[in-house]
Amino acid sequence: MRKRQEIGRGLRLPVRENGERCTDAYINRLTVTANQSYTDFAKQLQNEIEEECGISFGQRIENARERRTAKLKKGWSLDPDFLELWNRIKYQTRYSVEFATASLIERAVTELKAGEISAPTFTVSKAELDLSTNGVQSTLLTQGFKSDTDKALFIPDLLGYLQRETELTRSTIAEVLIRSGRLAEVFKNPQEFLNRALVAIRKALDDLMVDGIKYECRDGQEWEMLRFERDELTSYLNRLVEINHGLYDVVEFDSDTERRFAKGLDDREDVKLFFKLPPWFIVQTPMGDYNPDWAIVKEEDGQGKLYLVRETKGSADKEDLRGRERKKIDCGQAHFKALGVDYKVVTSHNEI
């Protein structure tokens, strides 16, 4: 039996009596007890998935025993550099957005006009199953394709669906659909038309919200400094790098860019302190929560000390970043601007 089959059977188990899939993380958890070394099992499983799905795992399966908890530096909570930096970035904010409905309609119409909508294609197959003590075998008898549906027999409630998904008014959505000039194509493929319309409206909405976003501090709400002690940092050994000028004795990295960045900062004499912002340190955005990367204290000749927040990416060019990732970074920039904190996207320690 292939490893994918073993894992797949386990993954199909968490279904409730009524047939609904259980999404409770405490119940929906697969424990694998391998009858060989777990390293061999994991390697074989990853190889099978890579061969059959055409992806690269990059050793995502880890040994839970090879983990350690980072240690906070002695006297960290009294370090004047840390306290000054923390007192600048600790504030929680809320955002508001302003945009004109006419601009939303115009952008959504432009997005919806792009691309083609094709009629659905159906595949009809007939097979024979042979059940025996050796397992189940199938033999394909016939296979054919059908794509002769020129017109859909059922048209869903376009406005109702798009209103539920976007929370826009029906009149705004109707204006987008009519002005796109593609409304007749809903009869060709209703599902694809709805998907394209939803993507177009959401993209226009996200762009406008980011362009018009404004942040302000929440009265009396800030991140607790003691959470650094309460919420321990635990990670795999191959994702930790030892440092001397951090808040902890190690720093966790998610990519080779972050590993080189941390080592580069640690080797710089003008960097007095740096640490990766913890997962609970988040900035709320219309696209979901955003967790910034690095907080840094740097000594600048003639200017005293600079207190910085930096985001590390393989490229600093916003056009190279994925859509929602780029928008979250733009929101993060607006958040730290409201706090008066220097924030930038960099690719190496030389750019801080």
Instruction: Classify residue 127 by burial, with Cβ atoms within 10 Å: 0-12, 13-18, 19+.
Output: exposed
Model confidence over 168-207: pLDDT tens digits?
A: 999 999 999 999 998 888 888 888 899 999 999 999 998 8
pLDDT category, 229, cuts 50, 70, 90?
very high
**Is the pLDDT confidence value at 341 over 90?**
yes
Express each pLDDT in 110-127 by its tens digit: 999 988 888 877 778 888
Tokens 């209703």 -> residue: 190
> Which tokens hold the place of 138?
């199938």
**Distance in angstroms (rounded) separating the CA atoms of residues 216 and 320:** 29
The pLDDT of residue 96 is 93
Q: Is pLDDT larger for residue 40 or for residue 145?
A: 40
Q: Which fold has domain 68-96+214-351?
A: Trna Endonuclease; Chain: A, domain 1 (3.40.1350)
Q: What confidence score (pLDDT) does residue 147 get? A: 61
Convert the pLDDT of each residue in 266-294 to its tens digit. Answer: 999 999 999 999 999 999 998 889 999 99
The structural domains of the chain, with segments of one domain joined by +, span 3-53, 68-96+214-351, 100-210
**What pLDDT is stored for residue 21 in this prediction?**
80
pLDDT above 80 for 344: yes
Q: Which of 150, 328, 206, 348 is nearest to 264 (CA)?
A: 348
With 80 as the cut, is the pLDDT of residue 230 above it?
Answer: yes
pLDDT of 114: 86
The span from the CA of 245 to the CA of 40, in Å, is 38
Give the pLDDT of residue 58.
64
Q: What is the pLDDT of residue 151?
A: 64
Q: What is the pLDDT of residue 131?
A: 83
SS3 95: strand
pLDDT of the residue at 263: 95
Q: Which of 108, 319, 330, 292 is nearest to 210 (CA)?
A: 330
Average pLDDT, the chain: 86
Q: pLDDT at residue 51 above 90? A: no
For 264-267, the CB contacts below 8 A with 24+ separation are 264/348, 264/349, 264/350, 265/294, 265/296, 265/349, 265/352, 267/349
What's the pLDDT at 238?
86
pLDDT score for 122:
75
Average pLDDT over residues 129-151: 72
**Least reliable range by pLDDT among 47-61, 105-119, 247-261:** 47-61
Per DSSP, 213 falls in state E
Q: Calculate the CA dihedral of residues 69, 73, 74, 77 and round it to 10 degrees.
A: -110
Residue 84 near residue 232 (C-beta atoms within 8 A): no
Percent of the chain with pLDDT over 70: 92
